Structure 1
Amino acid sequence: MAGAQTSEVDAVLKGFLTDYPTIIGFVVINADGIPTKWHESMPYERAVIYAALMSDFIAHCKKSLRGLLTGPAESELANVRLRTKEGTEIICVTQTEYTLVVIQNCTGKPWVQDEEAAGAAGGGEAGA
């Protein structure tokens, strides 16, 4: 049963990537803050960093929202959007057990991966 669910999730994520070509990467985080799936062009180390930082940020957002709003339906966090100086947008969508973090290119130009970061994340292999 778990294998069928995994292939269904993979199919949905691949469809998501084809429907939205401006997406640079994504990370699916479980309730414990551990990345369970991530984009194939994203190194595992970067997925772990996104998972750690965004799960902590989401927890603080939920806590602040509960403190500001009184009703249980009003204080439930649905999503968070962050715009960076580089022209990317980080979108976090929370569900019961999982959080989807999507990194999107908002510059309108083709996204160029930082070669220094990609070389360091790839183990420093030349010509790869």
Structure 2
Amino acid sequence: MAGAQTSEVDAVLKQFLNDFPTVIGFVVINSDGIPTKWHESMPYERAVTYAALMSDFVAHCKKCLGKLLTGPAESELANVRIRTKEGTEVICVTQTEYILVVIQNCTGKPWVTEEEGGGTATGEGS
């Protein structure tokens, strides 16, 4: 059963990448803050960094919404979008047990990523 669910998740993520060609990376984080899936071009260390920082950030956003808004339906966090100067946008979508973090290229140009070794690799947004 777990294998069928994994292949279904992989198929959904692959379709998501095909539908949105400006996505340059993603991380799926479980409720413990551990990355369970990440984009093939993203190193594991970077996925762990995104998981640690964004799960903490989302938890703080939920706490702030709970204090600012009165009703339980109003204070439910759906998503958070962060725009950077470099032209990327980090989007966090929350579900009951998982957080999907998506990194999107908003420049309109092909994305150039710097690899860990100092070299550059061009990415076409997938």
RMSD: 0.8
Counterpart Cα distance in 1 of 2:21 and 2:37: 19
Cα deviation digits, residues 38-78 of structure 1 (max 9, x gap): 00000000000000000000000000000000100000000
Higher strand share: 2
2:24 maps to what in 1? 24
1:7 maps to what in 2? 7
**Could you tell me how far 1:114 is from its partner in structure 2?**
1.1
Count of residue pairs the alignment pairs up: 118
User: Which consecutive segments of 4 or more residues in structure 1 shift more than 6 A?
Assistant: none
2:124 maps to what in 1? none
Q: Counterpart of 1:113 in 2: which secondary structure?
A: strand
Q: Counterpart of 1:112 in 2: which secondary structure?
A: strand
- TM-score with structure 2 setting the length: 0.92
Which stretches in structure 2 are left out of the alignment for 5+ residues?
119-126
Aligned-pair identity (%) = 86
1:69 maps to what in 2? 69
1:60 maps to what in 2? 60
Counterpart Cα distance in 2 of 1:84 and 1:49: 17
2:45 maps to what in 1? 45
1:36 maps to what in 2? 36
Higher helix share: 1
2:123 maps to what in 1? none
Structure with larger RCO (C-alpha < 8 A, sep 6+): 2
Q: Which amino acid aligns with 2:16?
A: F
Counterpart Cα distance in 2 of 1:20 and 1:5: 23
1:107 maps to what in 2? 107
